[in-house]
């Protein structure tokens, strides 16, 4: 029995847990406002909001219902367009802004846009127009043209301070208490009982759309036990069911990765990031999985449910062939906690910036030691400076007094982990190149020599995303981009 709240209605259903929420709301509840477009997470026509109790208040995220199993709705507030319509037949500010700015023509996509924008209005995101537009990055419109929809988003941002109650009906204020009273199976103890695992569903429901509704599976998505992101002192541990959005919002991850937002925004779209888990990305074993490449470059370790653990780089044997048994599920992934001398970068090239998988992606982590380069002249000593040796003065000038600009520091690589996707049958940890880089000074010669090693380590093939030659060139350029981003080396 799956229990949840659908709009203002308590639901207790024995419909198959593997059925999609889209089919449930349209065909079992006759709520036809939610549209069916691609059924692959690509168009956003089926977007709805999912509210979840977090630290005593309900937090809403947009999700694509075509890829969401009913089991993942357990204990949640599922909101369709019918659930935000004001009872008096008027329009919400989001709907009104779409009308006023001519944001709709045939209207097929409009519900999805309205749901995404409403989700943005009631979540904690800063109310800036560019973030409102980002919230709709999973929605595609084939006839209106995006400028009028963007104007609607800007207008909505201007009305945000009128309060959350303007954007959703009054019954939302009671949802927290109602969710507390719902009994769910989500706290059920692990280990799971079935050999098929489903987390966010964003991969498996695209691969097996007809099979999944009738398959017995273990649904790991909302297991609290698998979702935590923890600072363990020397390591950081990310639960397998943490989503890409969970990573983005995690203070632990934000402090470890200053460019977290910039990098993770390149992964799919807002609703997919809200569903896509780390465990699913790793097991999907796509040669271009973004989070897989990310964690390979951190030389992370996979922790399985029964306690076995192994370096992530040893998990991938061949195309979609993994060094794990069918019944083993991933519990968490762990990596060394970044220190001050740590540098990390992620690069991805795809045919369009958002909502696209990579042609080639790559990530690098480095531990470096910096010393002033030979071209740098230390600042003159001032009368207050008391240093017994020239070295002490140099160290102080370098570490505390601003030191030379990055370009004038000589960096030596103490440790390096490099990974790349789209250049082999598996997500690739570039072992030889990583070893080659250790102990070397960062300069143009090192990068060029490392590229020779890297080119020998990869085996891209020509396919719809590009020729072998193009992918080789792309990886070379992205490899150089790491050093430009981190050290200003062009
Ligand atoms: C529109 C769209 C855009 C996308 N864009 C990107 C992108 O830009 N970058 C990218 O990397 N990916 C992208 N993806 C792919 C997908 O979203 C990711 O791979 C995602 O991380 C999969 O996670 P999930 O929780 O949805 O996996 P699911 O679909 O639930 O599962 C995927 C596989 O992993 C297994 N599994 C899940 N969790 C576990 C676990 N804990 N232990 C063992 N096995 C497990 C399942 O059995 C299944 O075989 C996109 C997908 C869609 C639909
Ligand atoms: S129907 Fe296209 S994203 Fe769901
Ligand atoms: S209004 Fe027709 S697809 Fe957007």
Element (H, E) at 231: strand 229-231
Residue 217 Cβ inside 6 Å of ligand 1? The answer reads: no
- For ligand 2, what atom is nearest to the CA of residue 35? 1
Measure the CA–CA gap between 146 and 115, rounded to whole angstroms.
16
Per cent of the chain over pLDDT 90 is: 76
Measure the CA–CA gap between 251 and 236, rounded to whole angstroms.
12
Whether residue 164 has pLDDT greater than 50: yes
CATH architecture observed for domain 197-336: 2-Layer Sandwich (3.30)
Spatial contact of 229 and 242, defined as CB atoms under 8 Å apart: yes
The pLDDT tens digits for 314-332 are 999 999 999 999 889 999 9
- As for ligand 3, residues whose beta carbon falls within 6 Å of it are 104-110, 141-144
Return mean pLDDT, the chain: 91
Could you tell me where in the chain the CATH 3.10.20.30 domains are found?
2-181
The pLDDT tens digits for 95-140 are 999 999 999 999 999 999 999 999 999 988 778 888 999 999 999 9
Whether residue 62 has pLDDT greater than 60: yes
- For ligand 3, what atom is nearest to the CA of residue 113? 4
Question: How far does the centroid of ligand 2 lie from the alpha carbon of residue 202, in Å?
Answer: 11
Largest CA distance in the chain: 82
Q: Compute CA 141 distance to the chain's CA centroid, rounded to the nearest angstrom.
A: 23
Q: Which of 42, 197, 270, 316 to mutate to test the pocket of ligand 1 (most atoms within 8 A of CB)?
A: 197
- For ligand 3, what atom is nearest to the CA of residue 143? 2
Residue 289 Cβ inside 6 Å of ligand 1? The answer reads: yes
Measuring from atom 3 of ligand 2, which residue has the nearest CA? 41
Measuring from atom 4 of ligand 3, which residue has the nearest CA? 141
Whether residue 379 has pLDDT greater than 70: no
Question: How far does the centroid of ligand 1 lie from the alpha carbon of residue 357, in Å?
Answer: 12
Question: How far does the centroid of ligand 3 lie from the alpha carbon of residue 38, in Å?
Answer: 14
- For ligand 3, what atom is nearest to the CA of residue 142? 3
CB atoms within 10 A of CB 134: 18
> Position of tokens 């089926």?
46
Whether residue 243 has pLDDT greater than 60: yes
Residue 350 Cβ inside 6 Å of ligand 1? The answer reads: no
Beta-carbon contacts of residue 39 (< 8 Å; ≥ 6 apart): 22, 46, 66, 67, 209
Residue 218 Cβ inside 6 Å of ligand 1? The answer reads: no
Measure the CA–CA gap between 111 and 49, rounded to whole angstroms.
12
Question: How far does the centroid of ligand 2 lie from the alpha carbon of residue 456, in Å?
Answer: 41
Whether residue 454 has pLDDT greater than 70: yes
Whether residue 382 has pLDDT greater than 80: no
pLDDT at 187: 46
Query: Looking at domain 342-487, which of 3.40.190.10, 3.30.1300.10, 3.30.390.50, 3.30.470.20 is its CATH number?
Result: 3.30.390.50
**Rounded to the nearest 5°, which phi and psi values hold at 446?**
-60, -45
* 391 vs 480 pLDDT, higher one: 480
Q: Which of 38, 42, 107, 111 to mutate to test the pocket of ligand 3 (most atoms within 8 A of CB)?
A: 107
2-181: CATH class = alpha beta
Question: How far does the centroid of ligand 2 lie from the alpha carbon of residue 64, in Å?
Answer: 6
> Position of tokens 């059925």?
19
- pLDDT band of residue 383 (cuts 50, 70, 90) is low
- For ligand 2, what atom is nearest to the CA of residue 67? 4
Q: Residue 163, exposed/middle/buried by CB under 10 A (0-12, 13-18, 19+)? A: exposed
Whether residue 400 has pLDDT greater than 70: no
Measure the CA–CA gap between 469 and 335, rounded to whole angstroms.
33
> Position of tokens 């109650």?
165
Q: Compute CA 23 distance to the chain's CA centroid, rounded to the nearest angstrom.
A: 26
pLDDT at 65: 98
Spatial contact of 33 and 80, defined as CB atoms under 8 Å apart: yes
Whether residue 186 has pLDDT greater than 60: no
Could you tell me where in the chain the CATH 3.30.465.10 domains are found?
197-336
Measure the CA–CA gap between 356 and 350, rounded to whole angstroms.
6
Could you tell me where in the chain the CATH 3.30.390.50 domains are found?
342-487
Measure the CA–CA gap between 87 and 90, rounded to whole angstroms.
8
CA of 481: how far to CAs of 344, 416, 444, 458, 487, in Å?
A: 12, 16, 12, 18, 10
Whether residue 159 has pLDDT greater than 90: no
**Rounded to the nearest 5°, which phi and psi values hold at 151?**
-65, -40
Mean pLDDT, to the nearest integer, of 468-485?
96
Question: How far does the centroid of ligand 3 lie from the alpha carbon of residue 45, in Å?
Answer: 10
Measure the CA–CA gap between 176 and 53, rounded to whole angstroms.
7
């Amino acid at each position: 029995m799956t229990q949840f709240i659908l709009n203002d209605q308590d639901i207790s259903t024995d419909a198959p847990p593997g059925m999609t929420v889209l089919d449930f709301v349209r065909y079992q509840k006759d709520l036809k406002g939610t549209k069916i477009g691609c059924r692959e997470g690509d168009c956003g026509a089926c977007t709805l909001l999912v509210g979840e109790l977090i630290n005593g208040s309900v937090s809403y995220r947009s999700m694509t219902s075509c890829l969401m199993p009913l089991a993942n709705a357990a204990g949640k507030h599922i909101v369709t367009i019918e659930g935000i319509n004001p009872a008096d037949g008027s329009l919400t500010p989001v709907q009104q802004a779409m009308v006023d700015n001519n944001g709709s023509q045939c209207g097929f996509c409009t519900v999805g846009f309205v749901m995404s924008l409403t989700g943005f209005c009631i979540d904690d995101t800063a109310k800036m127009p560019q973030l409102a537009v980002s919230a709709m990055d999973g929605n595609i419109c084939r006839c209106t043209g995006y400028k009028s929809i963007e104007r609607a988003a800007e207008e909505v941002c201007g009305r945000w301070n009128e309060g959350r109650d303007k954007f959703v009906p009054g019954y939302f204020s009671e949802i927290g208490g109602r969710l507390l009273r719902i009994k769910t199976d989500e706290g059920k103890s692990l280990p799971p009982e079935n050999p098929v695992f489903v987390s966010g569903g964003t991969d498996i429901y695209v691969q097996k759309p007809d099979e999944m509704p009738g398959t017995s599976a273990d649904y790991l998505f909302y297991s609290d036990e698998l979702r935590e992101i923890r600072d363990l002192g020397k390591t950081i541990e990310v639960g397998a069911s943490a989503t890409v959005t969970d990573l983005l919002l995690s203070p632990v991850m934000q402090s470890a990765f200053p460019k977290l937002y910039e990098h993770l925004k390149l992964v799919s779209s807002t609703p997919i990031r809200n569903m896509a888990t780390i465990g699913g990305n790793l097991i999907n074993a796509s040669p271009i999985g973004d989070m897989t490449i990310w964690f390979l470059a951190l030389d992370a370790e996979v922790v399985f449910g029964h306690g076995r653990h192994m370096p992530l780089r040893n998990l991938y044997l061949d195309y979609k062939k993994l060094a794990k048994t069918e019944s083993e599920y991933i519990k968490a992934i762990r990596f060394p906690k970044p220190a001050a001398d740590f540098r990390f970068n992620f690069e991805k090239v795809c045919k369009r910036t958002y909502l696209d998988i990579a042609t080639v992606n790559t990530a690098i982590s480095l531990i470096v030691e910096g010393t002033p380069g030979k071209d740098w002249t230390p600042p003159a000593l001032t009368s207050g400076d008391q240093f017994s040796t020239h070295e002490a003065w140099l160290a102080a000038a370098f570490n505390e007094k601003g030191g030379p600009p990055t370009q004038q520091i000589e960096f030596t690589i103490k440790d390096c982990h490099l990974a790349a996707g789209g250049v082999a049958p598996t997500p690739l940890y570039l072992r030889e190149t990583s070893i080659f880089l250790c102990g070397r000074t960062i300069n143009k010669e090192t990068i060029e020599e490392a590229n020779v090693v890297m080119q020998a380590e990869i085996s891209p093939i020509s396919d719809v995303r590009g020729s072998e030659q193009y992918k080789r060139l792309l990886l070379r350029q992205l490899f150089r981009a790491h050093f430009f981003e981190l050290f200003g080396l062009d």
